[in-house]
Amino acid sequence: MIIAIKKEDRIVVGMSICDGSVDMSSKDLALADNLPFWKVQGEKDCYVFTEDLTYSADLLKYNDYVFKGITDGRSIVEKVLPKMKELLGKNSLLVNDKEWYNQMLIIKGKKVFRITNFLCVSEVDDFAAMGYENYLQGSLDATSDLEPTESILTSVRNTVRLTNRLLFPITVFDSKSKRKKVYYE
């Protein structure tokens, strides 16, 4: 699950892998190696978040040349998607050469881009949610007046109540401070 809020000069992202990895301890769920999140090496202010911790996420994480040269949505369509398709296709991770079982957010500077499981690209203007979107987006809209981290935590708490799923711990990343903080409910 990923939640991103773009506000003023920063982007705040909350992420959790609890729902898919319930056999891990809370401490292990928040370890950097267990998060579907990484900084693209050699690129300034470029971060990638995937919805699920899967082999495809690890493959992209350890082959992050795929994300080099991002400047805008067009560069993602023209440069990133062909490399993603090639890498995922070589490893039999695409369905009909156009779909994969994951989604991602890319932060580049002060912009946020979403790549869907159908490999469609869009720029995020205010907030985005992947995994439990129907629950999270309504809550994010209702809490838009709160500070971004509090909006994320409130939205996840509401989703937990509605779905009866374990979604904590939540790791929150702030693009301005470049820091992560773990919240255990």
Residue 166: what pLDDT?
85
Residue 34: what pLDDT?
67
- Parallel/antiparallel/unpaired status of strands 127-130 and 121-124: unpaired
Residue 110: what pLDDT?
95
Q: How far apart are CA 64 and CA 42, in angstroms?
A: 10
Q: How far apart are CA 42 and CA 161, in angstroms?
A: 41
Residue 33: what pLDDT?
66
Residue 26: what pLDDT?
60
Q: Tens of pLDDT along the chain (185 residues)?
A: 899 999 988 999 999 876 555 555 666 655 666 678 999 999 999 999 999 888 899 999 999 999 999 999 999 999 999 999 999 999 999 998 889 999 999 999 999 999 999 999 999 999 999 989 989 988 999 999 999 999 999 999 999 999 998 888 899 999 999 999 999 87
CB atoms within 10 A of CB 145: 7
Residue 67: what pLDDT?
97
> What does pTM read for this prediction?
0.90
Residue 155: what pLDDT?
95
- For the chain, first and last CA: distance in Å? 16
Measured in whole angstroms, the distance separating CA 169 from the mean position of its chain's CA atoms is: 15
Three-state SS at 4: strand
Residue 19: what pLDDT?
59
Three-state SS at 27: helix
Residue 23: what pLDDT?
59
Strand order in the sheet with 121-124: 37-39, 46-50, 104-108, 111-115, 121-124
Token output for 95: 């369905």
CB 105 within 8 A of CB 122: no
- Measured CA to CA in angstroms, residue 50 lies from 71, 82, 137, 164, 173 at distances of 19, 18, 17, 23, 14
Residue 20: what pLDDT?
53
The domain locations on the chain are 2-183
Listed residue (117, 39, 109) closest to 72, CA to CA: 109
Architecture per CATH, domain 2-183, reads as 4-Layer Sandwich (3.60)
Q: How far apart are CA 128 and CA 10, in angstroms?
A: 14
